[in-house]
A = this chain, B = another copy of it.
């Protein structure tokens, strides 16, 4: 295989995946195993330490799982943290205290907020390491690419915020949105977004043949994350209404976004604005409908098992409203895929490496 040919093992970037027994952690492992510049030094998982990957997941891979504390930070160039919220702190501390510029890509919400008060508001508890907040760059690659390149620490965005922000960004930065009305985000998510925990709510017989809204009405934690980032883009106050729904699908996510524009704009012009905005992106694709497809609309299937965000946009007839549909795989661009994309940016690699 050319993986070996292209780079000697000693020259590879040595990484650890913390939390490899979860869905996002395992997806990181699956992607990074094929990444030509990466050597995976450690897989960790607290309760599964001592087991092998194929004791946990239906696969034939016998990668060994160790405890978090078994990881020697000095042996590493980068760590991916796919731990429960609140657990990243101890690893961050170790790395800060070490002499080495070990990069961190943290998939938890711990360092996504700029402000510890906002964290407390949405997560209902005091932040335990607010001093680190300034050290983390918000890792929505397409918007913060330069800062990510320079950063040692990246806070990987939530899945809903990734789809939502990419779906609103081109209209918001061009000042086309009438912000006197809220941006309404009606989201549908596959169940792996909730993580791999033994909880009756996520049993097959509860999720199957069901669609469930949850945390609607300005309650869900991602509301704050989305508003924070949109405000920076708009340089103005942005109010969103965010309504997530659980659907009986393993992986996938769709945000259906309703925005009021200052003026009516035809679908073709809206599509052009999105296409133009993302024309140089590998992982954001716009269904323009310009080729004449009867209905060019983003679906779960457009992005499943990929790192893509696929977007479609449509004017509402006789109305200043537009509807954006933004699709990602919640484990791809919504978690592990974007984490690797950020990793690639941080190390100056081809941004697509390992992701095609």
Chain A residues near B (Cβ < 8 Å): 1-2, 6, 23, 34, 52, 54-55, 57-60, 62, 181-182, 184, 186, 188, 190-192, 196-200, 202-219, 239, 241, 243, 245, 247-252, 254, 256, 258, 260, 267, 285, 287, 291, 293, 295, 297-302, 304-305, 308, 310, 314-319, 321, 323, 325, 350, 352, 356
Contact A1 B356 (CB under 8 A): yes
Give this chain's copy count: 4
The interface residues of chain B lying within 8 Å CB-to-CB of A206 are: 204
Contact B215 A295 (CB under 8 A): yes
A199-B198, A216-B297, A218-B318 known; A204+B1 contact, CB < 8 A: no
State how many angstroms separate the Cβ of A202 from the closest Cβ of chain B.
Answer: 5
Chain B residue with the shortest CB-CB distance to A350: B1
Other 15 A-B pairs with CB < 8 A, given A60-B310, A245-B254: A2-B6, A54-B293, A60-B302, A188-B211, A191-B205, A197-B200, A202-B204, A204-B206, A209-B250, A212-B300, A213-B254, A213-B297, A217-B315, A218-B319, A248-B248
Contact B196 A198 (CB under 8 A): no
State how many angstroms separate the Cβ of A274 from the closest Cβ of chain B.
Answer: 13
